[in-house]
Amino acid sequence: MSSTAAQSKRRIVVLISGSGSNLQALIDALNTPALPNAEIVLVVSNRKAAYGLTRAAQATPPIPTAYLALATYVKQNPGKTREDYDAEVAKIVLRAKPDIVVLAGWMHILSETFLELLDGRKVVEDTPVLKPIPVINLHPALPGQFDGASAIERAYEAFTKGEITHSGAMVHRVVKDVDRGEPLVVREVAFVAGESLEAYETKLHNVEHEIIVEATKKVLEEL
């Protein structure tokens, strides 16, 4: 048996909120030189209508999915907080025994509670985390530039005002402070005079689809 075949596959959990085109990039890269010896064992969405859930279900083989929305959770669990929700998401993730967690358009700011459960500082149920599980995030802007939501639109607006000539995308480690974790892969994307927001977004998404695979492979290789 080849050494690769003998190695158990690295387990990836992906968190999404929307279309899932970056999830699809990961699915398409599985077990190619771009992302060898890996499998996506769970896709979690905080939005029921996220098309990424369909992409997971239509993958070959189908990828298990889970859905949990903050609003639904707090409504169904009176008195529970956002941190309780984050702990519940962490439990769902940890049950899948991931080697890495990838935020691919996950539009929810995670509290320290989630991060403590993933890195072993806190233990939930009887699933101890023996080694910190890396959590990485795809962000459509450069380090320290346009942190937070709607980054693409804000970057484009800055370009139209002549404030910047380029933006880009990055994948970074997830820490409590949003989009302030260590950059893992950074790619600049130049604006072209007169181009529409849609044209820029298309360029940017194509770059995202590459760097999310590159960053995932990079982190898995470090384990």
Ligand X SMILES: NCC(=O)N[C@@H]1O[C@H](COP(=O)([O-])[O-])[C@@H](O)[C@H]1O
Q: How far is the CB of 77 from ligand LMY7XDAE (least distance, A)?
A: 18
* Residue type, position 52, single letter: G
Task: Considering only residues 144 through 183, tell me which ones interact with ligand LMY7XDAE, judged by CB under 6 A.
Answer: 148-149, 174, 176, 178-179, 181
Q: Is 19 in the site for ligand X (CB under 6 A)?
A: yes
Q: Is 212 in the site for ligand LMY7XDAE (CB under 6 A)?
A: no
Q: Which of 49, 107, 192, 223 forms a contact with ligand LMY7XDAE (CB under 6 A)?
A: 107
Q: Is 139 a catalytic residue?
A: yes
Question: What is the dihedral angle through the alpha carbons of 104, 13, 218, 131, rounded to the nearest 10 degrees?
Answer: 130
List Cβ neighbours of 166 (8 Å cut-off, separation of 6 or more).
Answer: 188, 189, 190, 191
Closest to ligand X by CB, 74 or 109: 109
Over the Cα atoms of the chain, what is R_g? 18
List Cβ neighbours of 131 (8 Å cut-off, separation of 6 or more).
Answer: 120
Q: Is 139 in the site for ligand X (CB under 6 A)?
A: yes
Closest to ligand X by CB, 34 or 124: 34
Choose the one of ligand LMY7XDAE, ligand X, none that binds residue 110, judging by a C-beta under 5 to 8 angstroms depending on kind: ligand LMY7XDAE
- Name the strand (E) or helix (H) holding 168: strand 166-173
Q: Is 132 in the site for ligand LMY7XDAE (CB under 6 A)?
A: no
Closest to ligand X by CB, 59 or 124: 59
DSSP states of 92-126 as a string?
HHHHT--SEEEESS--SPPPHHHHHHHHTSS--TT
Catalytic residue set: 139
